[in-house]
Amino acid sequence: MSTQTAVNPHNRTRWLTLFGTIITQFALGSVYTWSLFNSQLSQKLDAPISQVAFSFGLLSLGLALASSVAGKLQERFGVRNVTIGAGLLMAVGFFLTAHANNLFMLYLSAGVLVGLADGAGYLITLSNCVKWFPERKGLISACAIGAYGLGSLGFKFICSYLLSVNSLETTFIIWGGMAMVMVIAGALLMKDAPKQQPNTSRSGENVRDFSLAESMRLPQYWLLALMFLTACMSGLYVIGVAKDIGEGLVHLSTQTAANAVTIIAIANLSGRLILGVLSDKVARIRVITLAQVVSLVGMSILLFTSMNETTFFISIACVAFSFGGTITVYPSLVSDFFGLNNLTKNYGVIYLGFGIGSVMGSLIASLFGGFTVTFSLIMTLLVISLIISTTIRLPHQPAKVKTAYQQSKA
């Protein structure tokens, strides 16, 4: 009887935490509708779309920087307080974005402030939720990050409607208020996960918890970081300028090109759910390999074919599917390599690739004046990443040669 009463509150707490995380992630995912605002902001600020779109790259960088210190913030303040702070900062960022009258103010408000808020809330709530469900890491990541992807789809319709009946400034203020309320409401349902016992890998070996310093001394850590940076560079760059690619390369109408936002959101969400659930059934590194192959297909269409409307939507769907699946599987993949208890810190530094990759794509496109050079670099990095994912081993796994030798001796 005493065991049952102890288990039930634990179950209730972790399911409430999951529900709160889903609400929060849905609101945080709204930033992926950013390309809807590029044209109007370009007109308002009298600046090229490429310079306006760079704010999304800065947002991604701020998101990654905040994620890298999320573990420290959680240790000091707890997941609930940090998430509430993120919701408040996000509202301030959108309020200032509404009143930005030059590129510097746009970069500071929409880029830095909204990015920092989104990153602080994103990784800390995701990692905490995964820790509550160590037996279902892939599924829980799919639910939480799936909500993040669904937020981009839901807010695409919300923001489109708001823009149709309100000014650009009013839309930003309402968007920020809605996001703040949802993030804070979700935070109030969350509690910090208890410390986890050492877990075992699928091969039956004990997985010890590597500290951040220990992880960063291992080559596997930096190989995973390079793969993650590549996935984020391809995904974020294409997502950020998808509408512009449709208009500039495929010569679609503005209205048709805007449908790219919906295609990306659906593909992104599908990748999160399908690959996240699949990662609980097969080796997670093989799921990453699959995602890389899908992304290579999409980038090949963008780079090597004369696109029409159909092939354009297929290509961006492939890239978005791969990106969504990769960022869903990666937290669990990192815990497979380096343990669960230090996941927020270990994944936080790798997550810097999210921001760096996005800024790299935008900078290369700005410096070399077009999509082709950026697509070519992404293709090269994807091939390198594919080679890495097919050869990398867990740090606690013995080499296969040694295992075979031991079996022959037995």
- Whole-structure pTM value: 0.77
Closest by CA to 35, choosing from 60, 11, 56, is 56
Q: Distance between CA atoms of 332 and 351, rounded to whole angstroms?
A: 13
* Tokens describing residue 280: 């609980």
**Beta-carbon contacts of residue 199 (< 8 Å; ≥ 6 apart):** 134, 206, 207, 339, 340
CA distances from 140 to 40, 97, 187, 349 (A): 37, 33, 17, 21
Query: What torsion do the CA atoms of 247, 172, 53, 352 make, to the nearest 10 degrees?
Result: -130
Burial class (CB in 10 A: 0-12, 13-18, 19+), 203: exposed
Q: How far is CA 315 from the centre of its chain?
A: 19
**172 in Cβ contact with 94 (< 8 Å):** yes
pLDDT tens readout for residues 168-226: 999 999 999 999 999 999 999 999 888 766 555 554 555 678 888 999 999 999 999 99
Mean per-residue pLDDT, 249-255: 77
What 8-state DSSP symbol labels residue 398?
P
What is the CATH architecture of 13-189? Up-down Bundle (1.20)
pLDDT tens readout for residues 304-321: 888 888 898 899 999 999
- From the DSSP assignment, how many helices (H) and strands (E) are in the chain? 18, 2
Q: Distance between CA atoms of 223 and 300, rounded to whole angstroms?
A: 23
Length of the chain: 410
**DSSP, residue by residue, 159-214:** HHHHHHHS-HHHHHHHHHHHHHHHHHHHHTT--PPPPPPPEE-TTS-EE----HHH
- For 370, the 3-state DSSP assignment is coil
Placement of tokens 């939507």 in the chain: 313
Topology adopted by domain 212-391: Growth Hormone; Chain: A; (1.20.1250)
Domains 13-189 and 212-391 share a fold: yes
Amino acid at 121: G
**343 in Cβ contact with 124 (< 8 Å):** no
pLDDT tens readout for residues 132-163: 888 788 888 888 888 887 888 889 889 989 99
**321 in Cβ contact with 268 (< 8 Å):** yes
Placement of tokens 């590597």 in the chain: 210
Burial class (CB in 10 A: 0-12, 13-18, 19+), 101: exposed
What 8-state DSSP symbol labels residue 31?
G
pLDDT tens readout for residues 312-369: 889 999 999 999 899 889 988 998 899 888 888 888 889 888 878 877 887 888 787 6
pLDDT of 61 higher than 60: yes
Domain residue ranges in the chain? 13-189, 212-391
Mean per-residue pLDDT, 374-382: 91
